[in-house]
Amino acid sequence: MQSSIVIEAKFRGPPDSGNGGYISGAFAGHLGVLSGAPSDGAGDAVQVTLRAPTPLDVEMQVIGIDADHLDVKQGDVLIAQAERIELELDVPTPPSFADAAAAVDASPALQPGLNSLVPGGLGFHPICFCCGADVDAAEGLRVFAAPVEGFNGVAAAWQPDAAFADEEGFLPSAVIWAALDCPGQFAFMNDGIRTGLLGRMTAKILKPVAASDQIVVIGWCIGIEGKKHFAGTAMFNQQGECCAVSKQVWIGRQD
């Protein structure tokens, strides 16, 4: 089976390509569409491997290999591959929303002079759909993960804008994947390591997330193997329940 997908420019990470978490979640959702299963991604762990930068406002082809695998291509260029897999992850206890909120000023998303791709921009990725501080709250998620005292990683106190709620008041799966993205990279930055782009993301949505909740998103380092930097991220609702988890591979920065 085959369908198509377009990633709108507002879902960018770098200036000219898609946010790794959002596009991974969007591709994962198409895996459900092609197999005839629900397309929200809930209950399934899906691994998305990003093979090339995802273009913006350009139609791509989503090609179902079978019920558990798909390829995303733009012409002859392989953009990404998605597959269902098992995901096991030891998730640490998160800081409170209040503690994460109190630490926000230390987030790389709010530090000047970290990004040379957007002159005059604020933070590490000023216009990123997930962590961009220069993006309006109704257009970007503004997940500002920061180191929190007593927690071995980073955490963001996140209150989604109502613009991101679906008809039932919940966050769409691709938005959840997006919010899980940047805290993984920020966890390495907290350890003094700047990685390159997201290469692979495996995520599982455990339960719906209400857009009205005060949400905590955490990120922590798992390990490094050569150029591969492994991170974990997780999302907790206002009741402290873990609603989504991800394991990420960030590619070592090329200086």
| Residue type (1 letter), 35 | S
Q: What is the pLDDT along the chain (255 residues), one digit of tens a residue?
A: 789 999 999 999 999 999 999 999 999 999 865 444 444 444 579 999 999 999 999 999 999 998 899 999 999 999 999 999 999 999 999 999 999 999 999 999 999 988 888 988 999 999 999 999 999 999 999 999 999 999 999 999 999 999 999 999 999 999 999 999 999 999 999 999 999 999 999 999 999 999 999 999 999 999 999 999 999 999 999 999 999 999 999 998 644
- CA 70, CA 114: separation in Å to the nearest integer? 36
For the chain, list the domains and their CATH numbers. Answer: 2-84 (3.10.129.10), 97-252 (3.10.129.10)
Name the token pair of 202: 């495996």
- 22-36 burial, b if ≥16 CB within 10 A, otherwise e? bbbbbbbbbbbbbbe
- CA 23, CA 7: separation in Å to the nearest integer? 7
Phi, psi of 174 (to 5 degrees): -65, -30
Burial class (CB in 10 A: 0-12, 13-18, 19+), 230: middle
